[in-house]
Amino acid sequence: MSHPVEIRFVPADESALSAALSGPGRVVLLIGDQGRPIGRLPRGLGRVARRALASSAWGKVKPGESIDLAFPMGMEADAVQLVHLPRSADVVTARKAGAAIGARMGKHRVTVLAGNHPQVAEVARGIALRGYDFTVHKSNPAEGPDADVADTGADQENGAERAPQTISRTGAVADAALGDAMQPGGDTVPEDTTAGPVEPPEPDRASVTLVVADADAARAQARDGLAAAAGVFLARDLVNEPANVLTTTDFAERLLELGELGMDVEVLDEDALSRLGMRALLAVGQGSETPSAVVVMRWQGGGDEPPLALVGKGVVFDTGGISIKPSAGMEEMTMDMGGAAVVAGVMRTLALRRARANVVGLVGLVENMPDGRAQRPGDIVRSMKGDTIEVINTDAEGRLVLADVLWYAQDRFEPAAVIDLATLTGAVIIALGHDHAGVFSNDDGLADQLLKAAAAEGEGAWRLPLAPAYDELIKSRLADVKNTGGRAAGSITAAQFLQRFIRKGTPWAHIDIAGVTLPPGATPLAPKGATGWGVMTLDRLIRDGFEQVGSDQDAPGQRPSGQRPSGRRAGQQSRGTRSSGQSRRGQDPSTRD
């Protein structure tokens, strides 16, 4: 997986200021109110900036945007970038300013003179997020003509020089930006000698140095935000991978390797799922050559409190099955595991920042393919809950996967709340476009917390209704429910279907991320491609609503520092957890038939 650019914080002494004027690379000045630089500048740099700040061009630069001065006279730097960021700027604007830096970073050494700006940690997060690029399948990641870069931090199509990323399988490599977030003894990974594709050689990396008034304070303030950026990178990587690489098996193996970060990871294979009675999930994948699975990731940082359960749809490729999709645009159905990617990214974030919360992430991994063994329209399957489902359309498969995983999450873990994420319906794109995810909930308090967290992180979300009237649209003549109610209110009937698999009294929210996972263009914090929408929102939700207040020492309930768990397949015992998918009541649900 890829990692954010290395970001260092150094004090604003004479040596750091002098270094900004020497050597190649890029120098960035944060410009506050009334065109005044934040902090003291070396004399030569002040002369370079003064004329630009007095120009009409600078007067048009909005907060969060920037202009470039190429090959400044008297300096070895390739460019000086002036970034407009008033001291009163909010978090979203500060991240946008950082993104403007990250978008222009390329492979350069970047020095940011940030002084005592109060939002320097958010600038660092913006740099990290926008510095992402997915080039692991390019023979020459640096190919492409050089081009001038836009001022806003949005993507530069076909020509922007982008920052290469370091790559690892587990995400547990030593990283200067995240080193203090790792467990002692857990920040290095032995060479992976297992069979598999050979990763490309690591290119020259960009590096970022922020020259600040108080380096220690800035580093501490940025730590958790950079951990969230690492989680976003994992989610983006997973969505961007093609389906011939990210099979269900490969996806499960990648998540098992997250155990290196200190969480318990367990894979339930098809035999375990069959014993549990997850026939709805298994029916979706029965036309594929790659086996279906459920991966359970547990972060136990909050003592004995019941966990928050995060559930993600992980359809690694969706042809639609027998109800096959049109060929135009089908290549983008590699993103139909976006919900599972977000859950994985959140779990990585929690582990890196050692969150004092109990969270369990569950993802259902399947591939929906047409085949002689594939499920058909008109089939009736029995869910783990026991409800029978008439399959009207095999392209409405994600809700079948989620139905079983949602029930299993409640049956095994008795969570304090459940949140599921899925690229579930095209209807939510018609309703909300690509700027907002659709939020559905049976609990006003949980919905309000989610919307507040999304707003704080600058990730668009909008609540849509649930009501008993919509149940009429998914009534089946032959079974307890049918899996689609037609075109009318398509995203709502999908959520209404999922609500059948939530126990009474359990706070639950469903987030339809079909429009925000892989939008058609760039976003302020991401180049064109996967966004990782939801990782920061859910991390904020956990921090504000589910995390215990305490020190930065080892989280309660975690193993001693440096002691690593090993990922395991169903049937292996670890720390007293159930094997072979045994239900909470000790009764095999498959006997219900």
- Say if residues 206 and 5 touch (Cβ distance below 8 Å): yes
- Say if residues 542 and 355 touch (Cβ distance below 8 Å): yes
In a 13 Å sphere around the CA of 367, the CA atoms on its Cβ side amount to: 23
- Say if residues 262 and 284 touch (Cβ distance below 8 Å): no
Q: Which helix (H) or strand (E) covers residue 67, if one does? A: strand 66-70
DSSP 228: H
DSSP 508: E
What distance in Å separates the CA atoms of residue 210 and residue 141, rounded to the nearest whole number? 26
Give the count of beta carbons closer than 10 Å to the beta carbon of residue 22. 11
Question: How do 293-300 and 264-268 pair as beta strands?
Answer: antiparallel
Q: Which residues pair with 508 in a beta bridge?
A: 418
Q: Which of 399, 482, 500, 540 is catalytic?
A: 399
Q: Write phi, then psi, for 149 (nearest 5 degrees).
A: -115, 140
CA distances from 450 to 262, 301, 457 (A): 27, 21, 11
Active site residue 584: no
Q: Which of 169, 205, 325, 568 is catalytic?
A: 325
Alpha helix locations (H) across 414-526?
Answer: 427-432, 444-457, 490-499
CA distances from 300 to 14, 259, 303, 545 (A): 45, 12, 7, 16
What's the gap between Cα 195 and its chain centre?
A: 27
What distance in Å separates the CA atoms of residue 560 and residue 21, rounded to the nearest whole number? 46
Active site residue 399: yes
Q: Which of 435, 405, 432 is nearest to 420 (CA)?
A: 405
- Say if residues 316 and 240 touch (Cβ distance below 8 Å): no
Q: Which residues pair with 211 in a beta bridge?
A: 10, 113
What distance in Å separates the CA atoms of residue 589 and residue 583, rounded to the nearest whole number? 7
Write a three-state SS string for 93-161.
HHHHHHHHHHHHCCCCEEEEEEECCCCHHHHHHHHHHHCCCCCCCCCCCCCCCCCCCCCCCCCCCCCCC
The SS3 call for residue 589 is: helix
CA distances from 295 to 215, 228, 251, 396, 517 (A): 40, 21, 9, 22, 21
The pair of structure tokens assigned to 419 is 């949140």
Cβ density class 419-451: b for 16+ within 10 Å, e for less: bbbbbbbebbbebbebebbbbbbbbeebbebbb
The pair of structure tokens assigned to 444 is 């006003």
Give the count of beta carbons closer than 10 Å to the beta carbon of residue 193. 6
Name the amino acid, one letter, at 452.
Answer: K
Name the amino acid, one letter, at 546.
Answer: F
Q: So which residues are the catalytic ones? A: 325, 399
